[in-house]
Chains A and B, each alone.
Chain A
Amino acid sequence: MTPITGHRILLVEDNDLNRTLVRTVLARSDHPVARHHTIIEAGDLAAARAHLAAAPVDLILLDMQLPDGHGLDLARELSRQPPPARPVIIALTASVLPEQQNDVRAAGCDDFLGKPYRPHQLIDMLAAHLPAQDPAATP
């Protein structure tokens, strides 16, 4: 049996509890999109860049206010890359004012999920942006 890694999701978030929450939500969900996945966690932009340099990811859940900079800085860097190589970027932030949301779109994020979110909203968001898993791969 071939090992299935599923989707690779990079979670850039400085708050421990909020990282735990994402992890727990994905682990508890029985939605197909959550069935096989790998979460790579980064507490700041430097760690996120290091992870991205080491191996590509399919999707980034990106917080905005990070200790070493703003999440949009990373989004802008990545949006300069050609689309096939570029991961889907979802802003996951408590900065939800309309102008802040506009900034998020302008910086090249694909979608926006404001905090506080309900667990199913996160799953729906992932399902909307990640291709369905190969049924043959499902045990």
Chain B
Amino acid sequence: MLTELVVEALFALVCVQLLRSYARRRDPLMRDVALMFAAVAVLFVLTVARRTLGEPPVVVRLLASALLLGQPFLTIRLVRRVGAMPAWVYWSTLAGWVVSSALLLVGGGRAIPATTVVMVAVFVLTEAVAAAFLIRLARQRAGAPRTRLALAAAGTLLFALAIIAASAGAGRPAQTGAWQLGARMTALASALAYLLAFTPPSWLRRAWSDRAAATVVRRLVQTPADAPPEATWQSYARSVCDATGSTAAVILLSADDAAREVARVGLPIPGGTEPAGDHAELLDLAATTNMVVGEAPRRMPAAALAYARAAGAHVVTAVPLDLPTGRGVLLLLNRHRALFTDDDVQMLGDVSRQTAALAHRAELLSDRERLTGELSASLAALTTASQAKNDFMANMSHELRTPLNAIIGFSDLMCHEPLVGDQVTVPAEWVKHINSSGEHLLALINEILDLAKVESGKIELHREPLDLPAAIWEVATTLEALSQSKGLEVTVAVAPLRAYADPMRFRQIVTNLLSNAIKFTPGGGRIFIAGRRVGTDIAVSLADTGPGIAAEDRIRVFEEFQQAGDARAQSGGTGLGLALTRRLVEAHAGRIELESELGHGAKFTVYLPAADAPLTTSADGRTRSPGAGVLVIEDDAPTAGLLSAYLQEAGYEVSTAATGEQGLHAARTRNPEAILLDIHLPGIDGWQVLADLKHDDRLRHIPVVIISASDHSDVGVALGAVDYFVKPVDRHTLLSWLARNGLVPTMGRKHVTVLAIDDDPASLQLIDTSLSAEGIQVITADGGAAGLATAHARSFDLIICDLLMPQVDGFDVIAALHNNPDTRGTPVVVLTAHRLTDTDKARLSGKVVAVSGKGDDAGGLPELARTIGEVTGLTIHDDKVVA
């Protein structure tokens, strides 16, 4: 009897404990748990009452028994709250309870064996189902909750066993004592298991929590020290998820009065589904709060609701984090309420402080790394700057000492000449040497000072609208003596434009460029100064027929103390002129460009802002590109075509006009760099065109070359043409004239692509090797059919074709190329080992430009190379081709 009392007292104790918890937190989960133990607790009260007050009324006993029969269902009800369970299980166990209770009430408390069997069976079966669900839940969890869920399952099973034992004892009066004892002992074990599961003593809770905390901390510490703070928080969030078996977890930290998400686990990566709402509201929670979607009494903050929706969760547990770095909140998202998480949640809240410390350390480390990086970068920049400064000082020292050497040397010699009275007689040239060296030194010092001024931004520009032709003429006149002494011809062709520039600095820029050109151009050469409008800028270009500047020197010449090639030997310049010019131009928000080809002179173009709005008188209103190219005014189509071909192959942009009127229109709209003009034109003749051009302020500066069948060069030059060629004009004369006048092709050398059709791989290889060495791109086609396909797929400058090929032979290929309008214009060269018969020649006549023989000695290749050279405008060196 005592055992029974103890068991019932224990259950009552659990019940009271749980009711107290419920009273504190008002958590529906706690209420359900308390209810589960209520049946046994009522039995305890009844037993006590029976001992002290006597037998209670039958109705009370029946109701208490019915309540006891409901204990398994109440367990099921609890399990359903914390995990997934099919509805039919719930409803069938409820039905089982109702049936059992009905049978009990109908029987009026008498033990009818059949109904007892049914009641016990329903009771045990329901308990078994509940235990199975509890075990399944336990397996999904870790740490203390797992142990506690397993204990609860054990308690449930033991309780069922106790009921079986009690009923068995009741059915066998002979053995009642033994069965009753067994039943009581089992019930006692059950009660203990329940007690440990639902109200564990505090020392046990602490032990479990400490173990779980150790696991979380160990994982946190394993996060790499140099990982960003977010990685530490992420690791923490993952541990939290694992420890609590949550679907998802989010960590928000306060940052400038707002909440910043630092980690999320089990939620989609932020993007379109970014939870909306005021996160900061979540930071204001004072204690751990459970919130259920769509459930009173607590309204769920919008942000929490959004997270719950994103995770597909119904329950949000918000754990406030009190961190050394500020407030934060941990959100645990679950589909169901969780049993036994209170301790873990408490523990995790504590661990968050350590996480914050680790994250802070990571932040400090990454800050240190970033600062170290910045420091070493600025150190490197300083080193470079210091090196540049040292180089500049070394160069300056060298440049200043060079003229001083002559000054000191010759003056020292003077001092040692014998005195006659108080006078010495010295050679006049010594004085000249000292003087010129002094002048050089002065120029150097002035340029260094100017450069320093521009460099430090202290240069003062007095910008004003500046008459371009007047300013350029002024410089050209000043330097006339110098250019004439070298026999140089300086042509100035500047459109009437106004630049927005500082007059003194503009003069300095042009003087530097012109004196450079004079210095570097060999005697008898030409210098061409042009000024025109390019969009909102004016472009002043100075072209010379000097030695040109190699590609590798084209940037270097603008640097301090640098001169290209062997310039120093001839020029005696300071090496600062172009550096200063570039900086002066840049100070005007302009830019300077250099085009040059070794042996073909150099052309410097300075772009400065124009003082006036762009001219809008051009017919189509288009702004013109800087390399507006060459305009050919010629009515004879073959001549115009030939001139265009020459120019295009060399890389010039070309436009043509067949009449004088069209030519004038084209000149006005396209603003060409030069005009090639025929005299005999339909309508107004070339003389009239020339006169019109020279009377138009906007066209006057364009150099015009007359190309005519009859020689009237004196008239032409008198009317303003810069040169006069008598037809026929060969390619070389034309191109070298353009180069001499500083008209450098805008597109650079044209890229030549050749198609080689042959069935012999060795021949294709030879052609490819030979022509590739000349910078010609070679596409090879193996056989006639492939060749035709390739020829139609894209355009080529030249096609090389073998004659004897299997299937589609060379004759067929050439006929097909000739008959197709797309390929008819492409020159074809026959390269064959085959000796051509008269019939062959007749078949090829008019369809190919040359026939080369291919022998074992590759003797046909030089001839082929010459043909390619003529057709493409490239100079091909025979020796190279053979090699």
On A, residues with C-beta under 8 Å from B are 14-15, 17-18, 20-21, 24-25, 28, 43-44, 65, 67-68, 93-97, 100, 114-120
- How far apart are the CA atoms of A118 and B433 in the complex, in Å? 16
Q: Is the CB of B406 within 8 A of A18?
A: yes
Q: Is the CB of A65 within 8 A of B412?
A: no
Q: Is the CB of A68 within 8 A of B566?
A: yes
- How far apart are the CA atoms of A95 and B567 in the complex, in Å? 19
Q: Is the CB of A17 within 8 A of B569?
A: no
Q: Is the CB of B394 within 8 A of A95?
A: yes
B residues in contact with A114, CB < 8 Å: 401
A residues in contact with B398, CB < 8 Å: 65, 93-96
Contact among A14, A20, A96 for B401, CB-based, below 8 A: A96
Q: Is the CB of B394 within 8 A of A24?
A: no
- Given A14-B569, A17-B436, A96-B397, A25–B406 Cβ distance below 8 Å? no
Smallest CB gap from A24: residue in B: B413
Q: What are 23 A-B interface contacts by the 8 Å CB criterion?
A: A14-B568, A14-B569, A17-B406, A17-B436, A18-B402, A18-B406, A21-B433, A24-B410, A24-B413, A25-B413, A65-B568, A68-B566, A93-B398, A94-B405, A95-B394, A95-B398, A117-B408, A117-B409, A118-B409, A118-B412, A119-B412, A119-B413, A120-B412
B416 contacts A by Cβ under 8 Å: yes
Q: Is the CB of A18 within 8 A of B405?
A: yes
B residues in contact with A25, CB < 8 Å: 409, 413
- How far apart are the CA atoms of A25 and B416 in the complex, in Å? 11
Q: Is the CB of B413 within 8 A of A117?
A: no
B residues in contact with A43, CB < 8 Å: 569
A residues in contact with B330, CB < 8 Å: none
Proximity bits, B569-583, A CB within 8 Å = 1, else 0: 100100000000000
- How far apart are the CA atoms of A94 and B408 in the complex, in Å? 13
Contacts A24-B413, A67-B568, A96-B401 aside, 13 further interface pairs with beta carbons under 8 A come to: A18-B402, A18-B405, A21-B405, A67-B565, A94-B397, A96-B398, A97-B394, A97-B397, A116-B401, A116-B405, A116-B406, A116-B408, A119-B409
Which residues of chain B (350-408) have a CB below 8 Å from chain A? 394, 397-399, 401-402, 404-408
- How far apart are the CA atoms of A16 and B397 in the complex, in Å? 20
Smallest CB gap from B398: residue in A: A94
- How far apart are the CA atoms of A28 and B413 in the complex, in Å? 8
Within the complex, the shortest CB–CB distance from B437 to chain A, in Å, comes to 6
- How far apart are the CA atoms of A21 and B565 in the complex, in Å? 26
- How far apart are the CA atoms of A96 and B401 in the complex, in Å? 9
Q: Which of B413, B416, B565, B567 has most chain A Cβ within 10 Å?
A: B413
Proximity bits, B409-450, A CB within 8 Å = 1, else 0: 110110010000000000001100100110000000000000
- How far apart are the CA atoms of A43 and B402 in the complex, in Å? 15
Interface residues of B, dominant DSSP: helix
- How far apart are the CA atoms of A95 and B561 in the complex, in Å? 13
Smallest CB gap from A94: residue in B: B401
- How far apart are the CA atoms of A97 and B429 in the complex, in Å? 31
- How far apart are the CA atoms of A16 and B785 in the complex, in Å? 69
Smallest CB gap from B393: residue in A: A97
- How far apart are the CA atoms of A58 and B566 in the complex, in Å? 28
A-B contact count (CB 8 A): 76
B residues in contact with A17, CB < 8 Å: 406, 433, 436-437
B residues in contact with A28, CB < 8 Å: 413, 416
Smallest CB gap from B437: residue in A: A17
Smallest CB gap from A92: residue in B: B405
B residues in contact with A14, CB < 8 Å: 568-569
Smallest CB gap from B566: residue in A: A67
Contact among B404, B433, B569 for A115, CB-based, below 8 A: B404
B residues in contact with A119, CB < 8 Å: 409, 412-413, 416
B residues in contact with A95, CB < 8 Å: 394, 397-398
**How many of B's residues come within 8 Å of A, CB to CB?**
27
- How far apart are the CA atoms of A119 and B415 in the complex, in Å? 11
- How far apart are the CA atoms of A100 and B405 in the complex, in Å? 18
- How far apart are the CA atoms of A117 and B407 in the complex, in Å? 10
Q: Is the CB of A117 within 8 A of B405?
A: yes
Within the complex, the shortest CB–CB distance from B438 to chain A, in Å, comes to 12
Within the complex, the shortest CB–CB distance from A74 to chain B, in Å, comes to 16
Q: Which of B429, B565, B569 has most chain A Cβ within 10 Å?
A: B569
- How far apart are the CA atoms of A114 and B566 in the complex, in Å? 23
Within the complex, the shortest CB–CB distance from B601 to chain A, in Å, comes to 20
Closest 9 CB pairs of A and B: A67-B566, A94-B401, A115-B405, A116-B405, A67-B569, A116-B408, A21-B409, A116-B404, A17-B406
A residues in contact with B394, CB < 8 Å: 95, 97, 100
- How far apart are the CA atoms of A14 and B402 in the complex, in Å? 11
Within the complex, the shortest CB–CB distance from A12 to chain B, in Å, comes to 12
Within the complex, the shortest CB–CB distance from B392 to chain A, in Å, comes to 12
Q: Is the CB of B409 within 8 A of A116?
A: yes
A residues in contact with B413, CB < 8 Å: 24-25, 28, 119
A residues in contact with B565, CB < 8 Å: 67
- How far apart are the CA atoms of A65 and B561 in the complex, in Å? 12
- How far apart are the CA atoms of A97 and B404 in the complex, in Å? 16
- How far apart are the CA atoms of A3 and B417 in the complex, in Å? 30
- How far apart are the CA atoms of A126 and B460 in the complex, in Å? 51
Contact among A20, A44, A118 for B408, CB-based, below 8 A: A118
- How far apart are the CA atoms of A116 and B409 in the complex, in Å? 7
A residues in contact with B406, CB < 8 Å: 17-18, 21, 116
Smallest CB gap from B565: residue in A: A67
A residues in contact with B430, CB < 8 Å: 24
Smallest CB gap from B561: residue in A: A65
Q: Which of A68, A114, A119 has most chain B Cβ within 10 Å?
A: A119
Proximity bits, B480-493, A CB within 8 Å = 1, else 0: 00000000000000
- Given A44-B569, A65-B568, A116–B397 Cβ distance below 8 Å? no
Smallest CB gap from A16: residue in B: B572
- How far apart are the CA atoms of A100 and B394 in the complex, in Å? 9
A residues in contact with B407, CB < 8 Å: 116
- How far apart are the CA atoms of A46 and B846 in the complex, in Å? 55
- How far apart are the CA atoms of A93 and B601 in the complex, in Å? 32
A residues in contact with B397, CB < 8 Å: 94-97
Within the complex, the shortest CB–CB distance from B659 to chain A, in Å, comes to 53
- How far apart are the CA atoms of A20 and B412 in the complex, in Å? 14
Within the complex, the shortest CB–CB distance from A35 to chain B, in Å, comes to 17
Within the complex, the shortest CB–CB distance from A128 to chain B, in Å, comes to 19
Smallest CB gap from B390: residue in A: A97
- How far apart are the CA atoms of A97 and B390 in the complex, in Å? 10
B residues in contact with A24, CB < 8 Å: 410, 413, 430
Within the complex, the shortest CB–CB distance from B542 to chain A, in Å, comes to 24
Within the complex, the shortest CB–CB distance from A122 to chain B, in Å, comes to 8
Within the complex, the shortest CB–CB distance from A69 to chain B, in Å, comes to 10
A residues in contact with B566, CB < 8 Å: 44, 67-68
- How far apart are the CA atoms of A44 and B567 in the complex, in Å? 12
- How far apart are the CA atoms of A102 and B397 in the complex, in Å? 17
- How far apart are the CA atoms of A117 and B404 in the complex, in Å? 9
B residues in contact with A44, CB < 8 Å: 566, 569
A residues in contact with B404, CB < 8 Å: 115-116
Within the complex, the shortest CB–CB distance from A117 to chain B, in Å, comes to 7
Q: Is the CB of B412 within 8 A of A115?
A: no
Contact among A68, A97, A100, A115 for B402, CB-based, below 8 A: A115
- How far apart are the CA atoms of A21 and B433 in the complex, in Å? 9
Contact among B399, B410, B416, B436 for A21, CB-based, below 8 A: B410
Smallest CB gap from A119: residue in B: B412
